[in-house]
Structure 1
Amino acid sequence: MSQIDGTPSLRSAGEIRSRCPRHRSAFVAPSADRAWTLGDLLQGPREGEWHQVLDDGARALVICRAGRSLDEVSAVLRLLDAAVPMVLVDSLNARQSEDVIETLGATHVFERGAFHRRHGRRATSVHRDRMVTLPTAGSSGHPKYVALSAESVMGNAAAVAANLGLRDDDVGVTTLSPAYSYGLSNVLAHTLAGATMLCVDHSIASRRFWETIRDEGATSLAFAASSAPLVVTALRRSMMPRTLRRIMFAGGAVDRSLVPELYRETARVGASLHVMYGQTEAGPRIAISSPDTEPKHWGTVGTGIHGVRTRVVDSAGAEQQAGKEGRIQVASPYIMAGYSQRASDLASPRDQIDWLDTGDRGRQDATGRMWISGRADEIRKVSGYRIDLRDVREQAATVFRCSAAALTGPHLVTVCLETADRISSDQPQVTELAERLNLPAELIRIVTIPKLPRGASGKVDHVALAERTGSAVIETVEEE
């Protein structure tokens, strides 16, 4: 498609329709006996609340509680195409829906295929720069509402499609809900390429998921980084579709120990592996690795996609030379309009953001390939000691051989281990961890929990974890 090549032309209303003039995309609900064209989805019924919402246009604000089913995905596409402002929320997150109603003044909630009116028309229209709102927890776990224009999310998806080489004979899968920026990008990139999208609502941990994508001939699979162990297992056991062309990872860092095997196993089945780097605030994809260079340059997330510039700066904001570590910044037409902290913010035009500070630290070489080393804001002071939370997680995972998360207070580091085993304060691993971190053992509190709370993107929900560890402590190192 011409719109996938070069810089996309950006519009607001009729965005998807204008990008896919022949409506070549198809959407398949594997449990049904037919496929829907993009035209079918965009020209759905106008009766009832659909009529009212489409009529209100920018004076509406719809909370779209979106999962991975055809009904939920089609609602997102239809609202986006009709230029109706929406806030995308995970279908399982009722608490967040209520927060959006209170914070941003939503007029409707769309869930389970139907609208529920919450308020009348908004007094002021939502600005075209803030048509799509995506909640993000960031590294702290505290919700922020990222405002994006339809143009930015569509332009970013077009660049992703071009970078990956998506074609109209590709078949993607809704492994993630479009309520997450990675899931939304996955759906839109395939749609803009005229590809087919399988709307599969089964868990990727279930046999039915793998049977379905094999039967339907999936070619593109997008996974959260936390799913890497499961993907390795699926590759080893020949569970992948024979039609597979590419596997993508985003939503955090893939476990470094798994990367070589992922590349070997993916190449063995004749597919390519792409590690993506992104951030909701960046619209959301920033860079994508090339399978040709990654095996020679382990750990790189690749170069910026079309339209994206990246740089690394020091603490004073001066640009670093190639190879030197610092804070990663991004400039592109896709970055957010700003955060929306109250209902009135939605009427404001985009903030002036020349370079977006991602909050990540890393380096890039002379060709623009980037390596991410962690969050710049993961450094904490605990009782005078400088703590790197990433180092805490990695060292704890190595010592205890399980997934780990870390929380800090003024005088304590709480290490949360994903295990059903009991770990007493006198076990030698606790002393080993303290030595590895160069911390006094009394500053470390160990909590074991059968399963770390995670969102659908695979990231640990730190707010839920903090709440749970207050009442789910099994064994701890003695506190001060």
Structure 2
Amino acid sequence: MGRVPRLVLLEASNDVESIVTLLAALSGGHPVLLCAPTEAQGSGGAHEAGASAWWESWNPDVIARGEVLEERRPGTAHDLHPDLALLMSTSGSTGSPKLVRLSGDNLDCNSGQIVDALGITADDVAATTLPLQYCYGLSVVLSHLSVGASVLLTDLSVVDTCFWEAFRKAGGTILAGVPYTYDLLEAAGFASMDLPRLRLLTQAGGRMDPVTVRRWAELGADRGFELAVMYGQTEATARMATLPTHLAATHPSAIGVAVRGGAFRLDPVDGAPARVGELVYSGGNVMLGYAEVPADLARGAEVSELRTGDLARFDADGLVEIVGRRSRFAKVCGLRIDLDRVESGLADGGRTAYVMDGGDRLLVALATPGGDVTAVRREVSERYAVPRAAVVVTEVTDVPRTASGKVDRPALAALVDAFGDPTCPTPDRLSAPGGHVSPAEGPLGVSHRGNQSGEAIRALFADLLDRPDATLDDSFVTLRGDSLSYVEASVRLEGLLGTLPASWHTRPIRELVAAPTEEAPTSRWPEWLRGRTLETSVVLRGLAIAIIVLTHAGVLEVRGGAHMLLAVAGYAFARFQLSGEGRVGRVSHILESVTRIAVPSAVWIGVLTLVDERYSWWNPALLTSIGGSNVHPQWRYWFIEAVVHLLVGLAVLLSIPAIDRLERARPFALPVGLAVLGLVFRYGLIDVGSHHEHGRPLVVLWLFVLGWAMARAEVRWQRWLLTAYIGLVVPGFFGDPEREATIAVGLLVLLWVRSVRVPAFVVPLVVPIASASLFIYLVQWEVMGRVGYTPLGAVVAIFTGWIAWRGAAPLVEPLARWVGAQASRVLSKSSRTVVGSAGS
């Protein structure tokens, strides 16, 4: 680049070329402007803070893309101050033209401060879980390299098993994340992972809920790693404070103390509570100042302290606690948003709107009569690079105002706050600004190959799950898909994308279309004979219900299918109900599933009770195990009742905060413990009733939670442990070796075989049967009782169940979502009441 300082625009990726270019430029005295790769800007127009916009605004002398350096002129077009080393967008902000001017001394100072706070040594290995152009991600790289530590360069998500294989192989010791990273870690089963060298997790990029902080600190104490909560802004190079790791569990609301050489003070703020003021920081890592036009690059240091805009207080132990924001900025999914600029941008389009900070959501109250809520949501999302699911817009006809006539923003926020939950993109795809995406991706982070696939998948989920609000940032799990809809979704997705990754149901659509998939190999066989991949649980569900019907019809004599389905139900429970969302979301999700099962069952059995005296009203109430008699028809639906009772019981159990925390900390150990506890009822140590003992909910608890444990078994020793459990517990359950062998084989297949290849012609048979299994189970006896207990009767029963499923599902789904919403409100209100009582 020469000896004359030149402005270098670096389109940074988490790769060796970007790191080498950055270090070379800094070493040679060339100021670097960091941004996401140009390809992150689609043909539909660059984002305001995008790379191409910066070319025009800042006129760089050199553009660096990987190994390629594009020299736009022989010298420089700028007057560059000798102290200027780095230009970064403000804390990953969008909607703001400001850049932060940082010096080499700033970078060296803060790297040393971070090394000191975290105790980083040359033996440490960190991974690039965050983009390089995001100040937090950059600080991880620079601080580690400054002491000779290693950095694993990767763009893989933490939900990708390949990431963890690379992390283990590299001997990873430190893992950095923003709050949403920790949600993904939970979804990925982090608590049960074998990471022998991991010693430290770090968290910054936004406030993490104190309950979550305490839970991760407790998990670390149990697993041998520590949690360091950190606080910073780009204006302070990266970090200003760290909470000592030994205080994370006891002071989860605090950001800690200033880093070495830094200091905090509180300046008075009118109207703030006692002992609360604006947090002001001073130290050698405070920026030179801002740059808004190229002429600002000639300016030197203009500030010696940083007014953070955060309202804070010192607690009794001298730790800093952030209690609010003074300025009109919000941090949404790790990106800082200028709320006034969003409002003025909407006003330029002729719309009156009020934009407020909703924590991890952007709350927009649209006051323009007849305004298009959908269009506003789309515009804010795309213009400011905010995930669409994190933008909540509602139309307000009467704007609330205070006694002085000013707009009452807290009241407005409360009106908007009732709509939706935040859904952020994966943190390792966040950037400052515009979203960190791969070079082949378009304006919303979906590859050009994936633009069509992404919309197709979104439409598929919208139709299949009755969620027209589905966005590219949603996943099957966040849209509340369950085990029944999963069957059809997985098969239809495979037709769109090829072989699916194991964790597809937890991945946002935009990430799913960008994930590598395997195309079906070229075959000379006819299309109907070519192999298709189905998940084992799907095949077992379809096979089991078919065997059940054929056995009841007298065509086969293979018993044990219903008990095998109990394990499949537990397997599905772990995968869909126990997602990475919070306790309230999990419980409401479980109750939605209960509604999908219990309501159609109660309606059908209720009709039977009216026309068939052999049934009692205990049957439609699904309480036969409590008040039913020994009449055989009354126990036909024991399986439905068992699943409902177990799901309700687990919803109650997981609504207890301590149990919820235990499940997240020990996702494999908890179901194994319950499986051991279930043996008390399996072996009759506690009597729960003599007639139809093998169908009582508590007696079959061990089977359901065994399926749950299977879904959580990530490593080989866990699978061998469950294999031993099956070998010890299944024999003798019925006193029928053939029936027990059927169950044992099904359980072992579910445990050890995650997917199977089947001829293509099998898929149209298995998938509808598996999807409609609940309804087939319900109608089988009545249909065969009229058509005959024959092969024809079995086929008609299966077909009738499929028709019932297709007809009832659209009616039941809105009710299920209503139940989930009501449960969420009640639980949220209860949680706030408990927290409020504790606080007072």
Fold equivalence (TM over 0.5): yes
* 2:303 aligned with 1:357: no
Deviations, residues 260-288 of structure 1 (Å, cap 9, x unaligned): 21111122220110011000001221001
Residue number among 63, 74, 86 corresponding to 2:9 in the alignment: 63
- Comparing 117-126 with 152-161, which one deviates more in the overlay? 117-126
1:406 corresponding residue in structure 2:
363
2:200 corresponding residue in structure 1:
246
2:88 corresponding residue in structure 1:
134
Paired amino acid for 1:225: P
2:487 corresponding residue in structure 1:
none
- Comparing 452-461 with 104-113, which one deviates more in the overlay? 452-461
* 2:102 aligned with 1:148: yes
1:198 corresponding residue in structure 2:
152
Flag the 1:451–1:302 CA change in 2: closer, same or farther, 3 A.
Answer: closer
* 2:291 aligned with 1:345: no
Deviations, residues 309-362 of structure 1 (Å, cap 9, x unaligned): 111212269xx99x82221111111111111111121112121x2331111122
SS of corresponding position for 1:132: strand
Paired amino acid for 1:122: T
2:120 corresponding residue in structure 1:
166
Q: Could you tell me whether the CA contact under 8 Å between 2:91 and 2:134 is conserved in 1?
A: no
1:10 corresponding residue in structure 2:
none
Flag the 1:459–1:173 CA change in 2: closer, same or farther, 3 A.
Answer: closer
The CA distance in 1 between the partners of 2:413 and 2:281, in whole Å, is 39
What is the deviation of 1:454? 7.8
The CA distance in 2 between the partners of 1:212 and 1:247, in whole Å, is 17
* 2:53 aligned with 1:99: yes
Percent of residue pairs identical: 27
The CA distance in 1 between the partners of 2:432 and 2:135, in whole Å, is 16
Larger radius of gyration: 2
The CA distance in 1 between the partners of 2:394 and 2:362, in whole Å, is 18
Mapping of residues 201-240 of structure 1, within 5 Å: 201-234=155-188, 236-239=190-193
2:264 corresponding residue in structure 1:
310
Flag the 1:163–1:451 CA change in 2: closer, same or farther, 3 A.
Answer: closer
1:189 corresponding residue in structure 2:
143
The CA distance in 2 between the partners of 1:176 and 1:463, in whole Å, is 11
* 2:236 aligned with 1:324: no
The CA distance in 1 between the partners of 2:186 and 2:426, in whole Å, is 20
Q: Could you tell me whether the CA contact under 8 Å between 2:91 and 2:432 is conserved in 1?
A: no
Residue number among 227, 242, 246 corresponding to 1:292 in the alignment: 246
The CA distance in 2 between the partners of 1:256 and 1:363, in whole Å, is 16
What is the deviation of 1:241? 1.9
The CA distance in 2 between the partners of 1:362 and 1:139, in whole Å, is 22
What is the deviation of 1:178? 2.2
Highest RCO, 1 vs 2 (Cα 8 Å, sep ≥ 6): 1
What is the deviation of 1:235? 6.0
SS of corresponding position for 1:211: helix
Residue number among 258, 261, 264 corresponding to 2:212 in the alignment: 258
* 2:32 aligned with 1:81: no
Q: Could you tell me whether the CA contact under 8 Å between 2:89 and 2:98 is conserved in 1?
A: yes
Q: Could you tell me whether the CA contact under 8 Å between 2:365 and 2:416 is conserved in 1?
A: no
The CA distance in 2 between the partners of 1:419 and 1:217, in whole Å, is 36
The CA distance in 1 between the partners of 2:432 and 2:70, in whole Å, is 31
Flag the 1:388–1:88 CA change in 2: closer, same or farther, 3 A.
Answer: closer
Paired amino acid for 1:373: V
The CA distance in 2 between the partners of 1:461 and 1:102, in whole Å, is 16
Paired amino acid for 2:300: P
Q: Could you tell me whether the CA contact under 8 Å between 1:327 and 1:361 is conserved in 2?
A: yes
Flag the 1:108–1:165 CA change in 2: closer, same or farther, 3 A.
Answer: same
Q: Could you tell me whether the CA contact under 8 Å between 1:453 and 1:460 is conserved in 2?
A: no
Flag the 1:378–1:424 CA change in 2: closer, same or farther, 3 A.
Answer: closer
The CA distance in 2 between the partners of 1:373 and 1:233, in whole Å, is 29
The CA distance in 2 between the partners of 1:314 and 1:140, in whole Å, is 29
**Structure number with higher helix proportion:** 2
Q: Could you tell me whether the CA contact under 8 Å between 1:454 and 1:460 is conserved in 2?
A: no
The CA distance in 2 between the partners of 1:126 and 1:174, in whole Å, is 30
2:489 corresponding residue in structure 1:
none
Q: TM-score, normalised by structure 2?
A: 0.41
How many residues were matched structurally?
A: 386
The CA distance in 1 between the partners of 2:19 and 2:413, in whole Å, is 51
Paired amino acid for 1:274: A
SS of corresponding position for 2:257: strand
Structure 1 residue runs of 5 or longer lacking an equivalent are 1-52, 394-402, 426-435, 476-480
* 2:319 aligned with 1:373: no
Paired amino acid for 2:33: V
What is the deviation of 1:293? 1.6
Q: TM-score, normalised by structure 1?
A: 0.70
The CA distance in 1 between the partners of 2:277 and 2:55, in whole Å, is 38
Deviations, residues 434-456 of structure 1 (Å, cap 9, x unaligned): xx964599x64987699656875
What is the deviation of 1:136? 2.4
1:29 corresponding residue in structure 2:
none
Flag the 1:203–1:123 CA change in 2: closer, same or farther, 3 A.
Answer: same
The CA distance in 2 between the partners of 1:124 and 1:227, in whole Å, is 39
Deviations, residues 95-137 of structure 1 (Å, cap 9, x unaligned): 4222222222201111132111234422444212322101126
1:23 corresponding residue in structure 2:
none
**Structure number with higher strand proportion:** 1
The CA distance in 2 between the partners of 1:300 and 1:336, in whole Å, is 24
Q: Could you tell me whether the CA contact under 8 Å between 2:267 and 2:280 is conserved in 1?
A: yes
Flag the 1:460–1:76 CA change in 2: closer, same or farther, 3 A.
Answer: closer
